[in-house]
Amino acid sequence: MTKRAYKERLYPTPKQAVLLAQSFGCVRFVWNNTLAYRTEAYQEREETLSHSAAEKRLVALKAEYPWLKDVSSVILQQALRDQKSAFDNFFNPKLKARYPRFKAKGGRQSIRLTRAAFRYRDGEITIAKTKTPLPIRWSRPLPSAPSSVTISRDRAGRYFISCLCEFTPEPLPTSPRAVGIDLGLTDLFITSNGQKAGNPRHLKRYAARLAYRQRRLAKKQKGSNNRHKMRRKVARLHAKIADCRRDAIHKATRTLINENQVICVESLNITGMVKNRALARAISDAGWGEFVRQLAYKAEWAGCQLVQVSQWLPSSKICHGCGHRVEKLSLSQRHWHCDGCGRAIDRDINAANNIRTAGLAGLACGATGAGAVA
């Protein structure tokens, strides 16, 4: 058994929308107030606020601000738990997480409810402080009763509910096929079989429309209703771009998982690569990090193996046929001829084949000089 989140679209009634807005505001206030108190206590008095002390302080906040009692106390306590986890991640040197930030009123809003704050019965979810079930557009039945639910509202004004459930993954039939994948910008990914996926470039498709709406937004008076409407239009366009990108990656990764037993990819330092201002937008639009993340968890559920090869492997410079290595190969040179065997080489397909070879070698012996990790 493992846990999986099922995210569905939510269409709250007007009364439920008011309650959710109050809940979002209260959670945001508790988070920001506690974070400011923690930061000030450490900077001025070098004191650290423990989680138990933060929970005791929440009682005093409720007495000082009675409107905090209008929402469920569970979501306020959960906000403190989430903040504790954020600080634990920040102080963990392996995770390299940044310092917790304040929550903005105009950003994404969310609340998390445990079983004490909602009821799941006959396929319907009813949260605390309301009597009617939430109008959820279910795309599939839940495999079990959720242990917790997270209700969120994005900048485009859309509501979502994410249900954390236990489910049993069903491994796919074993296949002898293995594939190497080279990530790129001209093509989102290239396989060792010679398949080039292409790159839809979702951001570029809507760039002109997005720039037009952003210019209109910049000219609106701050605080006006017209500015709020235009900000919502800009957010909706950003959401559309993100949805298109996520949908394309889901389809591509599902096809790769269904067709292969072993998938070898290169472990790229995407954080460092986006510092290149000339390629940062194209790399972010390609979604390499999300692509590898989806491959990882889908491979685990399907019983496949994902092997990550070191980024320092010169996969593009080594001929996969004879092993000859060229000294210099510019990024603009997409094809080259091997001096060792005279083979005409496609740079991307050659890199995918070398990644596949290094990944299978690492899988066979446990580790290689190339740094393959299963």
Q: Would residue 266 show up in a list of annotated catalytic residues for this protein?
A: yes
Q: What is the DSSP string of 12-67?
A: --HHHHHHHHHHHHHHHHHHHHHHHHHHHHHHHH-----HHHHHHHHHHHHHH-GG
Active-site residue among 47, 64, 122, 348? 348
Angle at 327 between CA 324 and CA 333, to 5 degrees: 95
Q: Would residue 88 show up in a list of annotated catalytic residues for this protein?
A: no
Active-site residue among 40, 82, 88, 266? 266
136 neighbors 10 (Cβ within 8 angstroms): yes
Q: Would residue 348 show up in a list of annotated catalytic residues for this protein?
A: yes
| Alpha carbon separation from 256 to 113, 260, 362 (Å, rounded) | 35, 6, 20
Output the six-digit token pair for 31.
């988070």
Active-site residue among 8, 47, 82, 182? 182
Q: Which of 169, 170, 239, 247 is nearest to 210 (CA)?
A: 239
- In 131-290, which ranges are E strands? 136-137, 148-153, 159-167, 178-183, 189-191, 262-267
CA–CA dist 271, 311 (Å, integer)? 13
Q: Which residues are known to be catalytic?
A: 182, 266, 348
